[in-house]
Amino acid sequence: MERVSLSDCEPSEAADGVHLALLAGGDAMNVQHFEIEPGAAVDEHSHPHEQTGYIYEGELVFRSDGEEVVCGPGDSYAIPGDQPHAAENRGDEPVRGVDIFSPPRENPNWESE
Residue partners of 69: CB distance under 8 A and separation at least 6? 61, 62, 77
Confidence band, pLDDT 50/70/90 cuts, at residue 105 = confident
CB contact burial 21-56 (16+ within 10 A = b; e otherwise) = bbbebeeebbbbbbbbeeebbbeeebbebbbebebe
Does residue 11 fall inside a structural domain?
no
Does residue 12 fall inside a structural domain?
no
Q: What percentage of residues in the chain have a pLDDT greater than 90?
A: 92
What Rg value do the Cα atoms of the chain yield, rounded? 13
Whether 107 has a pLDDT exceeding 70, the answer reads no
Domain count, the chain: 1
User: What was the pLDDT predicted at 113?
Assistant: 45
CATH number at residue 69: 2.60.120.10
User: What was the pLDDT predicted at 108?
Assistant: 54
Report the 10 Å Cβ neighbour count for 58.
20
Which residue segment(s) compose the domain that 77 sits in? Answer: 18-92
Q: pTM for this one? A: 0.91
